[in-house]
Structure 1
Amino acid sequence: MMHPSTYCLVLWTAMTATTMAQAPDSLDNPFRPVAADDTVSESKPDVVDEESPEQRMLALVHTEALPRFDRAEIFTLSMPDPFADDAMKRESGKDAFPVRPYGKNATVLKHKTLTGPSCDDLRKLWQELTFDRDGGAFCHRPVYGLRFYRGESLLFETTVCWECQNFYVPKFDRQKRTFSHRWHGFVNDVQAKALLTRLRSELPHPQL
């Protein structure tokens, strides 16, 4: 089974080739070159964007551009304060779901698998979230874990917290050529409530 991080890098390579074929000044091209500004010093730019093209693409394929999947696994979760001394350790098991940025696990309460049209509905609800890449990085108390598959390949795995409005996505270190994970936020608006309502209808959470 292809590791989700490897899949994302392959997908990023393919999508980059398509993107670069677009007109460089197209507003639909998220990687279009920044227009030159002769008034800005090259040694001291006014704005520095620390997010690499690789990370922007990884964010896209896990948010607005999430690929189609034919199987989804929903998990209801319970997790103590991740910074408490008695927080769960990293050991994996059938009753644990990884919260990878913390290097810890949440307890799985229940699990349900979706296939067919339900996957398309869930994908649409996810893509319609109002994403905020810099939001929701202060805590994470997940109530749902999600895994999206195409065939036997795992496309995306994450945990979602509505208290802090965040979830995790892969992060690529260009210098080390390695993957880790980082938080990505969303706005707790009508779209977020619609996703939570759908998840609760598919698999009710005993703490909600």
Structure 2
Amino acid sequence: MQPMNHGHHHISSLPEIDAVDVLVLDDTMPEKAPSGVTGMYVYILGAADAPHVRVVGTQALHIATLWRRLPPGDEAACHEPPFGLRVHAGDIIALQASVCWMCSNIYGYRGSQQFDAGFDARSAEAQELLSLLEQVTHGLPRPAAY
């Protein structure tokens, strides 16, 4: 495992939000990413038509609170993200990222700034966030490996 926390401030400093799109990602996302996008960022930028649910109100605020509380951690060398988040603040997308609990890593964008971060996927906050995302996406198509 290698440390990957130089982007963790993008997690803890998420601004006030209005809604969260929870996306179910799969291995077709990289081929759908815009030309020139590389690395694990292809998952979130290739997810324009991914199955998703928009969460608003107290549940969206709870997702944002759990996101901000994700503790730093180390990440592994794999990445099989089942979920992505697209966080809305008014008419702008404040943050979008793919999250992998198996690898303990996050790859995304805060505005136009690319970031990556490791987090402690076994922490109570991370497990509660995963459980909530699974709950709100119940009924959406899942990748075969999930």
TM-score by length of 1: 0.53
Contact 2:25 2:84 in 1 (8 A): yes
1:102 to 20, 28, 40: 40
Aligned to 2:60: 119
- Corresponding residue SS for 2:62: helix
Q: Deviations over 1:149-175 (max 9, x none)?
A: 11111100000011101102459xxxx
Contact 1:125 1:195 in 2 (8 A): yes
Greater helix fraction, Structure 1 or Structure 2: 2
- Corresponding residue SS for 2:22: strand
Shift of 1:180: 6.0
Q: Deviations over 1:113-139 (max 9, x none)?
A: 01122221111111221123xx21522
Question: Relative contact order (C-alpha < 8 Å, sep 6+): which is higher?
Answer: 2
Give the Cα separation in 2 of the matches to 1:119 and 1:141: 24
Contact 1:76 1:111 in 2 (8 A): yes
Unaligned runs of 5+ in 1: 1-54, 81-86, 93-98, 172-178
Cα root mean square deviation, aligned: 2.9
Contact 2:41 2:108 in 1 (8 A): no
Structure label with greater radius of gyration: 1
Q: Deviations over 1:47-88 (max 9, x none)?
A: xxxxxxxx96x642x2122111001101111127xxxxxx84
2:31 to 80, 89, 96: 89
Residues 180 and 197 of structure 1: is their aligned pair in 2 closer, same or farther, counting only changes over 3 Å? Answer: same
TM-score by length of 2: 0.73
Give the Cα separation in 2 of the matches to 1:100 and 1:160: 16
Contact 1:63 1:131 in 2 (8 A): no
The amino acid across from 1:77 in the alignment is L
| Pair 1:147 & 2:86 matched | yes
Contact 1:137 1:183 in 2 (8 A): no
The amino acid across from 1:115 in the alignment is V
Q: How many percent identity over aligned positions?
A: 24
